[in-house]
Amino acid sequence: MGEPSPASAKTRTEDAMPDAAPTDVGGGGGTKSELVITWEPVPEELQNGEGFGYIIAFRPLGAVTWTRAVISTPGVARYVFRNDTIPAFSPFDVKVGAYNNRGEGPFSSIATVFSAEEVPSEAPKRVWGRSVSAAQIEVIWEALPATPERVLGYEVVYWEDDTKPDTVGKVRISANYSAVNMTGLKANTQYYLAVSTFNTAGTGPQSTPINATTKKPPPGQPPLNVEWTMIGSLLTLHWDPVIAMETEAEVIGYLVMLRRHRYNEVNSIITNKTRMELTLSPNDNYLIQIKALSDGGEGVGSEPIHIHKLSMGAQGSGASRLSLLSLSHLSAVLVSALVLLSSSW
């Protein structure tokens, strides 16, 4: 093999004006009298030379003259223009270009960016709440009419005593709604609640606090002694009534949940009795569970009952998980037992 050729001399291309404009130009938000403009920085490999920076141009929508600002830091992706004369939430034409020591590159396409909003100045009125269950309170208020400030939505805060501690629960919903369910609350507990409006500038004043108390918890005792009989496709259920303790919500009925295995669907039936008749399909398996109902919600479920499609004409209890036999099968077993007893005599 011959000798390797000498190393080539390193060369560097000449600097050139940027040929790529910043992308994703947008912005908005900020505080009063601000116009916030953002963009995606130009990668270093596309900057084409030293002295790289950005030119930000903006004007009120419909105006002719552009205002320009220059940023000499390549990694910056945000510019804030502050002026007391900027109207709140006012639209601006915005474009961003790039430059380096060789000159200016192209500008981005024009984007519409809104100046900062002002915080809402009015609080919602006619706020009231009602207990839905042991864990839920519904809060309702009168939607605000047109206001000088834009309303993006409502914020509901709640706390457990009238001292209003620093840490409170908070829920936000869009301005299309004027009611919300506060969930995950403690049972039989008084809550204080207040409603305010918000937008990108912040949260407005709160309404006068109201209070509501969650209901007592549902009974902790499941329905007991659940028994069933099945004749043909008719299933008859009965169970002992659930008696609520003094600290629990009173029982107002029962929820019978019927799950069909074939269709993986659950049907729920409410009754105020402790007995129920159901017509089942002979070609499916079922799982049945019973719960007490109260103002505080659903109670603890009974032991599940498994009804198999071969169980026509059988009976059992909710505590039993043994395979079920048909009456004809039971008769055959009894006859066999009598024959064995006779032969032993």
Domain-located, residue 344? no
Query: In this structure, what CATH number is given to the domain that contains residue 240?
Result: 2.60.40.10
Same domain (yes/no): 231, 315: yes
Same domain (yes/no): 173, 256: no
Whole-angstrom Cα distance, residue 39 to residue 48? 19
Same domain (yes/no): 46, 106: yes
Domain-located, residue 268? yes
Nearest Cα residue to 239 out of 279, 289, 278, 294: 289
Nearest Cα residue to 207 out of 148, 116, 120, 131: 120
Predicted pLDDT of residue 144:
87
Domain-located, residue 15? no
Domain-located, residue 10? no
Same domain (yes/no): 197, 241: no
Same domain (yes/no): 144, 63: no
Give the total number of structural domains in the chain. Answer: 3
**Strands (E) located in 7-90:** 23-27, 34-40, 53-60, 67-71, 78-82
Nearest Cα residue to 82 out of 120, 118, 33, 44: 33
pLDDT truncated to tens, each residue of the chain (345 aa)? 566 666 555 545 667 889 899 999 999 999 889 999 999 999 998 998 899 999 999 999 999 999 999 999 998 999 999 999 999 999 999 999 999 999 999 999 999 999 999 999 999 999 999 999 999 999 999 998 877 889 999 999 999 987 776 667 999 999 999 999 999 999 999 999 999 999 989 999 999 999 999 999 999 999 999 999 988 889 999 999 999 999 999 999 999 999 988 777 899 999 999 999 999 988 889 999 999 999 999 999 999 999 887 665 565 654 433 333 333 333 343 334 333 334 444
Same domain (yes/no): 109, 158: no
Coil, helix or strand at residue 295: coil
Same domain (yes/no): 85, 158: no
User: Of 50, 80, 114, which residue is a domain's last?
Assistant: 114
Same domain (yes/no): 209, 242: no
Domain-located, residue 220? no
pTM: 0.68
Domain-located, residue 209? yes
Nearest Cα residue to 187 out of 165, 163, 220: 220
Query: Within 13 A of 294's CA, how many CA atoms are on the CB side?
Result: 27
Same domain (yes/no): 139, 185: yes
Whole-angstrom Cα distance, residue 169 to residue 159? 6
Same domain (yes/no): 242, 297: yes
- Which residues form the domain of 43? 23-114
Domain-located, residue 52? yes
Give the pair of three-digit tokens for residue 117: 């909003």
Nearest Cα residue to 51 out of 99, 106, 14: 99
User: Of 189, 213, 237, which residue is a domain's last?
Assistant: 213
Would you report the helix, strand and coil content of the chain in percent, each value rounded to 5? Answer: 5, 40, 50
User: Of 114, 147, 167, which residue is a domain's last?
Assistant: 114
Domain-located, residue 326? no
Same domain (yes/no): 248, 295: yes
207 residue type, one letter? S
Whole-angstrom Cα distance, residue 241 to residue 253? 10
Same domain (yes/no): 232, 317: yes
